[in-house]
Chain A
Amino acid sequence: MASEIVLSMENICKSFPGVKALLNVKFRMFKGEVHALMGQNGAGKSTLIKVLTGVYPHDSGIITLNGKQVVAENPLAAQKLGISTVYQEVNLCPNLSVAENIFIGREPKRNGLIDWKNINTKADELLKKLNIKIDVTEMLSTYSIAVQQMVAIARAISISAKVLILDEPTSSLDENEVNLLFSVIKKLKAEGMAILFVTHFMDQMYEISDRITVLRNGTFVGEYLAEELPRKDLISAMIGKDYTRTDEQDKRRNDYAALKDIQPFFKASNIERKGHVSSVSIECKKGEILGLAGLLGSGRTEVVRLIFGVDKPDKGEFTLNGKKITLNSPMQAILNGFGFCPEDRKVEGIIGDLTIRENIILALQGTQGIFKNIPKSKQVELADKYIKALGIKATDSEQVISKLSGGNQQKVILARWLATNPKLLILDEPTRGIDISAKEEIMDLVIELCKEGMSIIFISSELEEVVRCCDRVAVMCDRKKIAELTGDEISEEQILHVIAGGTK
């Protein structure tokens, strides 16, 4: 393996008022290697990347690039040094063409005018190098997020990158798209680029990474070769204690026999929305966790959006306790006793500038209407109750929600629905983008709620979580429900097998 050091960071320290974000952290990048930076939320990954890319100045420590000590004063300077970053959310202009996006700000010119022909051919060549064959004159927004990300990478490497930082690049990609991205990463690696990769998905990390650095609470835990660090040890390094899986899973399997005979209280029959869901039927039972498994884009989110009335179905009907109901708005769904934690917490979940208290009581107040105001004392009581019950880390209930970490924001959204005491709670990717211990807490909570008799629909991209929690799993593929697994049939292998086209 190549072992030429391209970049090294030594004894990096960075503190914010009241917090030591990084303390003597070191990090090295080697030519032609993918180096994963791992750690829970708040471990200092983002801060380290921001120091490296010049977003934050560091307090002390040395950064060396190709043997020369460098200081990137701002992101532009970092880019000029050859450190390029592609972020989780694509930072491009969707309403410009692909080629324009790649060359914006440094358009090749002829006679003082922009040389369009040149731009388009150059962009085309760049993307071909990455094995992407698309029409570069089309608007960026016509392409999938994955392609947009490739465009962002093409832009980054065309600005003479020696070091490429990929910050959670796969969080909104489906499996095929991830494979596409990985083939690009492998190609760049072969060309000798040093790549820094940050992700929450362990499988993906192991698939692509050569080297792993683990951070915890702003300190350096260790640098390992990926093949020498088993998953169990990695998790232990990240959380700082031995990781043991609960045997909750087996217990639930045993309980399933009892659930089998219970009649479903809610049915969605042959619901359909053109281009999103084709004729899906789903049943929910009291005290049961129903998993929706399937790749991103398989229609699992779309199904629950129909059930919660966020989108309207073209066909199909819903019955609750034997009675036909209409679900044309979230309000109707809530009044029928449903709750819904949406997939995209930032866009559909939190109300950023409002306090934790207001965010928690919002849906409950919604059911009461404008004029039946929940008294302030009751609001505080409710908020405090859930802050305590869910272990939300906050100064108090009057803290603004946008100041919280992702995991704590997710818990607040959960609390919002728990406060309405729903009969059916829909959780769409409740553990996305939050750290491991918060994930565990949320899954424990889900299981706990179900024991108390709540019915839950659980969606997760991480099959391990689906397998662990669910009593029944509906497998989705190409906007259809292709199978339903129960009891012992539920395993990662079986779900993948079904998705891949096998029968159960």
Chain B
Amino acid sequence: MKKKSTVDNLLRSKNFWALTALALLLLFNLIFTKGFFHIEIKDGHLFGSLIDILNRAAPMIIISIGMTLVIATKGIDISVGSTVAITGAVVAMLIGGNLKIVDGVQTYISQVPMSIAIIAALAVATLIGLWNGFLITRMGMQPIIATLILMVAGRGVAQLLTNGQIITIYYKPFFFIGNGFLFGLPFSLFIVAVIVGGTILLMRKTALGMFIESVGINPVAARVSGINSKNLMLMIYAFCGFCAGVAALLVTSNVKSADGIHAGELFELDAILAVAIGGTSLAGGKFFLLGSVIGALIIQTLKTTIYSIGVPPEINLVVEAFVVFIVMLIQSEEFRKIVFRVKAVRE
């Protein structure tokens, strides 16, 4: 077999096509959206459409990371949206907060210390993931059914927690998570960097990545080779719940309230789409974390683009669907084969 050129390798790399799609979207904006690439510095913070996209995409990127690993084990977690709602409700209830004037100075007071509220919320999210994992690995439920339970019931739990109301948070320090800036960049990006970087590092530097792929490709053979796939999957679902919890903190902080009905709505589908765009097969096995990040960025860029070029609201879902369709076509190897064959015949 002849040695493949770098270009060939590039074309074969899974991330290449997702990146191409993202580049095309950006190119479109460069031409049609005025000031899309304009970034200005206000009060030492960076502002602009690109920064806005990154900030808005942050929760989805984090959820996609957890979802990628779940999907790599041949599973799926459709309860992440509900997990966001529950976690949001928990953190909002715990912090609550109000503004008091103490000795003529405005002071923010939270019900419980913010750090404890955050830890408790993340613990709840992780527990939700563990519950999903328990149903799947110990009760033998199919992942889509096991997580469907919480997808449906979870919103009920969230509403029960919030008494069916939207809880507003009055505690300024908490707003920093989703709205603050650090070194000129949105703080959320640092959280994304920690989660994405940490996960990638964990996969590269430990045997976790190989074990996950083995379980996803051939669970029986993986077990015979001495891998405890049940515990591994339990951990992965717990991690996916944790990721949804982190995303919930960003979302709740960003909108300064918790809404049991609408918080995290349809996040599960966007996350699955991001993973698919990123090149990870829903049949499990090989996974691409960076691909999922690019996938989440594509989805957010698309949403922002649709608003900024002023697509009428009644057709913006159609436009979104169309672009996603094109992206998935580009990502499809079968489709590329057909296109290239046609080209080869012409030549």
Seen from chain A, the residues whose Cβ lies within 8 Å of a Cβ on chain B are 17-18, 308, 310, 329-331, 333-335, 340, 342, 347-354, 358, 362-363, 365-374, 395, 416
Q: B227 near A366 (CB under 8 angstroms)? A: yes
Q: B226 near A363 (CB under 8 angstroms)? A: yes
Chain B residues within an 8 Å CB radius of A351: 213-214, 217-218, 221-222, 225
Kindly report which residue of chain B lies nearest to residue A402, judged by CB atoms.
Answer: B217
Q: A365-B210, A373-B207 are in contact. List 14 more A-B contacts (CB 8 A).
A: A308-B224, A330-B226, A333-B226, A334-B226, A347-B221, A348-B221, A348-B224, A349-B221, A350-B221, A362-B214, A363-B225, A365-B211, A366-B211, A371-B206
Shortest beta-carbon distance, B88 to chain A, in Å?
A: 31
Q: B210 near A362 (CB under 8 angstroms)? A: yes
Chain A residues within an 8 Å CB radius of B223: 310, 329-330
Q: A362 near B213 (CB under 8 angstroms)? A: no
Q: Would you give 11 A-B contacts (Cβ < 8 Å), ordered by A?
A: A330-B226, A347-B221, A348-B221, A352-B217, A354-B210, A358-B210, A358-B214, A366-B226, A366-B227, A368-B207, A370-B208
In the complex the two chains form, what is the Cα distance from A369 to B1 in whole Å? 37
In the complex the two chains form, what is the Cα distance from A350 to B207 in whole Å? 18
Kindly report which residue of chain A lies nearest to residue B232, judged by CB atoms.
Answer: A370
Q: B207 near A353 (CB under 8 angstroms)? A: no
In the complex the two chains form, what is the Cα distance from A372 to B208 in whole Å? 10
Q: A354 near B220 (CB under 8 angstroms)? A: no
Shortest beta-carbon distance, B211 to chain A, in Å?
A: 6
Chain B residues within an 8 Å CB radius of A352: 217-218
- Cβ < 8 Å to A, chain B residues 64-113: none
Q: B205 near A373 (CB under 8 angstroms)? A: yes
Chain A residues within an 8 Å CB radius of B213: 351, 353-354
Q: B217 near A353 (CB under 8 angstroms)? A: yes
Chain A residues within an 8 Å CB radius of B218: 347, 350-352
Q: B208 near A348 (CB under 8 angstroms)? A: no
Chain B residues within an 8 Å CB radius of A374: 207
Kindly report which residue of chain B lies nearest to residue A335, judged by CB atoms.
Answer: B226
A-B pairs with the 5 shortest C-beta distances?
A366-B226, A334-B226, A363-B225, A331-B226, A365-B207
Chain B residues within an 8 Å CB radius of A18: 1
Q: A340 near B224 (CB under 8 angstroms)? A: yes
In the complex the two chains form, what is the Cα distance from A330 to B218 in whole Å? 15
Shortest beta-carbon distance, B238 to chain A, in Å?
A: 14
In the complex the two chains form, what is the Cα distance from A331 to B231 in whole Å? 12
Chain B residues within an 8 Å CB radius of A330: 223-226
In the complex the two chains form, what is the Cα distance from A331 to B208 in whole Å? 16
Instruction: Flag B189-226 by CB within 8 Å of A: 1 or 0 each.
Output: 00000000000000001111011011001101111111
Q: B1 near A395 (CB under 8 angstroms)? A: yes
Q: A310 near B217 (CB under 8 angstroms)? A: no
Q: A354 near B226 (CB under 8 angstroms)? A: no
- Cβ < 8 Å to A, chain B residues 209-254: 210-211, 213-214, 217-218, 220-228
In the complex the two chains form, what is the Cα distance from A354 to B222 in whole Å? 12
Residue B286 at the A interface, CB < 8 A?
Answer: yes
Q: B228 near A354 (CB under 8 angstroms)? A: no
Chain A residues within an 8 Å CB radius of B206: 370-371, 373
Chain B residues within an 8 Å CB radius of A308: 224
- Name the contact of A310 in the complex, choosing from B207, B224, B285 (C-beta under 8 A): B224
Kindly report which residue of chain A lies nearest to residue B286, judged by CB atoms.
Answer: A353
Shortest beta-carbon distance, A347 to chain B, in Å?
A: 6
Interface range, B side: 20 to 34
- Name the contact of B220 in the complex, choosing from A347, A353, A363, A416 (C-beta under 8 A): A347
Kindly report which residue of chain B lies nearest to residue A358, judged by CB atoms.
Answer: B210
Q: Known: A354-B210, A368-B207, A371-B206. Contact between A329 and B228, CB under 8 A?
A: yes
Chain B residues within an 8 Å CB radius of A365: 207, 210-211
Kindly report which residue of chain A lies nearest to residue B215, judged by CB atoms.
Answer: A351
- Name the contact of B228 in the complex, choosing from A17, A331, A342, A350 (C-beta under 8 A): A331
In the complex the two chains form, what is the Cα distance from A17 to B2 in whole Å? 10
In the complex the two chains form, what is the Cα distance from A347 to B217 in whole Å? 10
In the complex the two chains form, what is the Cα distance from A12 to B326 in whole Å? 43
Shortest beta-carbon distance, A338 to chain B, in Å?
A: 10
Chain A residues within an 8 Å CB radius of B225: 330, 351, 362-363, 366, 416
Shortest beta-carbon distance, A337 to chain B, in Å?
A: 12
Q: B224 near A342 (CB under 8 angstroms)? A: yes
Q: A353 near B221 (CB under 8 angstroms)? A: no
Q: B285 near A362 (CB under 8 angstroms)? A: no
In the complex the two chains form, what is the Cα distance from A173 to B147 in whole Å? 41
In the complex the two chains form, what is the Cα distance from A442 to B286 in whole Å? 31
Chain A residues within an 8 Å CB radius of B211: 365-366, 370
In the complex the two chains form, what is the Cα distance from A43 to B214 in whole Å? 32
In the complex the two chains form, what is the Cα distance from A127 to B221 in whole Å? 37
Shortest beta-carbon distance, A393 to chain B, in Å?
A: 14
Which of B1, B210, B213, B214 has most A Cβ within 10 Å?
A: B210
Chain A residues within an 8 Å CB radius of B285: 353
- Name the contact of A349 in the complex, choosing from B207, B224, B286 (C-beta under 8 A): B224
Chain B residues within an 8 Å CB radius of A331: 226-228
- Name the contact of A354 in the complex, choosing from B205, B208, B217 (C-beta under 8 A): B217
In the complex the two chains form, what is the Cα distance from A235 to B170 in whole Å? 86
Chain B residues within an 8 Å CB radius of A310: 223-224
Which of B205, B214, B218, B225 has most A Cβ within 10 Å?
A: B225
Shortest beta-carbon distance, B146 to chain A, in Å?
A: 23
Chain A residues within an 8 Å CB radius of B205: 373
Shortest beta-carbon distance, B220 to chain A, in Å?
A: 5
Shortest beta-carbon distance, B52 to chain A, in Å?
A: 38
Shortest beta-carbon distance, A498 to chain B, in Å?
A: 30
- Cβ < 8 Å to A, chain B residues 146-188: none
In the complex the two chains form, what is the Cα distance from A335 to B224 in whole Å? 13
Q: A348 near B220 (CB under 8 angstroms)? A: yes
Shortest beta-carbon distance, B209 to chain A, in Å?
A: 10
Shortest beta-carbon distance, A475 to chain B, in Å?
A: 26
- Name the contact of B207 in the complex, choosing from A347, A354, A370, A416 (C-beta under 8 A): A370
Shortest beta-carbon distance, A355 to chain B, in Å?
A: 10
In the complex the two chains form, what is the Cα distance from A348 to B226 in whole Å? 12
Shortest beta-carbon distance, A382 to chain B, in Å?
A: 14
In the complex the two chains form, what is the Cα distance from A329 to B231 in whole Å? 13
Chain A residues within an 8 Å CB radius of B217: 351-354
Kindly report which residue of chain A lies nearest to residue B208, judged by CB atoms.
Answer: A370
In the complex the two chains form, what is the Cα distance from A370 to B206 in whole Å? 6
Shortest beta-carbon distance, A16 to chain B, in Å?
A: 11
In the complex the two chains form, what is the Cα distance from A366 to B215 in whole Å? 12
Chain B residues within an 8 Å CB radius of A373: 205-207
In the complex the two chains form, what is the Cα distance from A17 to B208 in whole Å? 37
In the complex the two chains form, what is the Cα distance from A30 to B225 in whole Å? 48
Chain B residues within an 8 Å CB radius of A372: 207
Kindly report which residue of chain B lies nearest to residue A417, judged by CB atoms.
Answer: B225
